[in-house]
Amino acid sequence: MSSDNCSGDIDLFSGEMSETDIQVVTSGGLRIPAHSAVLASASTVLENILVRPEKLRSSERTIRILGVPCDAVSVFIRFLYSSKCTEEQMERHGIHLLALSHVYLVPKLKQRCTKGLAERLTIENAVDVLQLARLCDAPDLYLRSMKFLSSNFKKVEETEGWKFLQDHDPLLELEILQFMDEAELRKKRTRRHKRELSLYLQLSEAMDCLEHICTEGCTSVGPCDKEPSYETQPCSKFDTCQGLQLLIRHFATCKRRTNGSCLRCKRMWQILRLHSSICDQPNDCRVPLCRQFKLKVQQRGDDDLWKSLVGKVVSARAMSSLSLPKRKRVDEPKMDLGHHEVMNFRLAA
C-alpha cells in the first residue's frame, strides 16, 4: 500500500470521450474523474447509486470507493472502461480487485480475478486467498486454494496468515481441517477402487481366455475334440492366458483336487463357476462344468456376495470391451514356446 501514489488527482480518460461528470474518491484521497454512463453500464451496483442522486453527494457528484489501496481503485475503474487489466496489475492488486468485482457486481472482472489468483497461489497468500474466496462467494477459487492449502499444509502452517486465521477464524480452520480429512479419505477410496477394478479386469480377461481356450484352443491347450496346434499363435492376452493354461493343466492332473485341499484347484473351480455365472449360452458352451454349475444355481441359488462379484466382473468386461480393441491375433508377436516343452495336454470335458 505504501507504494500507492495518492497525492493529487489523476485524469485517466481525457481525450476522445465527452467530459467526465463524476469523481471517484478513494481512501487515500485520490480523485479519479470518470463518466457516470460508463460506470453505470459496467456495474449494476454503481448504476443503482448513480440513478438515485440522493445517494450521491449531489453538490460534488462523487462516489466513494474506500477500504482498498488507491492504485487498486484506479485499476478497477480502468477495467470498467476497457474490460482489461494487465498481468502485472493482477499480480499487484488481484486480491483487492476480486473484492471490488464482488462488491460492485462486475462478473467479467470477478472471473478474471478468480483465474488470476488461482494461478498465483503461494504458501504465503494461500490463507488470504481462501478467506477472500469464501467472503466473495467464488467457489472455484475457494476449491483451488483449499486444495493448494491441503497439499502444502506443512509449510502453510508456518505462515503468519495461518496463525492469524487460527486466532480469528476458528470456523474456517475447522473447514480446512475437515477438507483435508476428506481429501485423505477420497484418496484412499480411489486407491482401493483402482485395485478392485484391476482385479475385476483380470477376472474378466480370464473369462475371455477360458472361452477361447475351450473353443479354439490357444498355443498348447485346447478343447478335447481338437488337436492342439503348436502353430497357433499366442493370443493378445497371453499373460493371463498362459497363467490360466498352467492352472488348467494342473487341475486336470492334480491328485488332491477332489478332497478340496488344493488351493490352485480351488481357484480353477472358482473360475469355472464364474464363467458359468456369466455365460449366456450354456447349451452351446464348450467350457467344462458350465451346465452343471447352472443347474446347481437353479436348484440352490447364489449367495449375495457371489452375485455382487459376478456383477462387477460383468461390468468390468463391458468396460474393457468398450475401451480395448477386439483380440487381434494377427498383429501379435509370435512367442517361442518351444523351449518350454509343453505337454500336449487336452482339457477333459
User: Which chain residues interact with Zn ion by CB under 5 A?
Assistant: 218, 235, 241, 254, 262, 264-265, 279, 285, 287, 290
Closer Cβ to Zn ion, 113 or 207, answer by number:
207
Closer Cβ to Zn ion, 72 or 235, answer by number:
235
Query: Which residue type does 13 have?
Result: F
Q: Output the smallest distance, CB 289 to Zn ion, in A.
A: 9
Q: Output the smallest distance, CB 296 to Zn ion, in A.
A: 13
Closer Cβ to Zn ion, 131 or 240, answer by number:
240
Q: Output the smallest distance, CB 117 to Zn ion, in A.
A: 55
Closer Cβ to Zn ion, 248 or 290, answer by number:
290
Report the distance separating Cα 197 and Cα 179, nearest Å: 26
Q: Output the smallest distance, CB 271 to Zn ion, in A.
A: 12
Closer Cβ to Zn ion, 169 or 211, answer by number:
211
Closer Cβ to Zn ion, 12 or 262, answer by number:
262
Q: Output the smallest distance, CB 197 to Zn ion, in A.
A: 22
Q: Output the smallest distance, CB 137 to Zn ion, in A.
A: 58
Q: Output the smallest distance, CB 346 to Zn ion, in A.
A: 15
Closer Cβ to Zn ion, 284 or 304, answer by number:
284
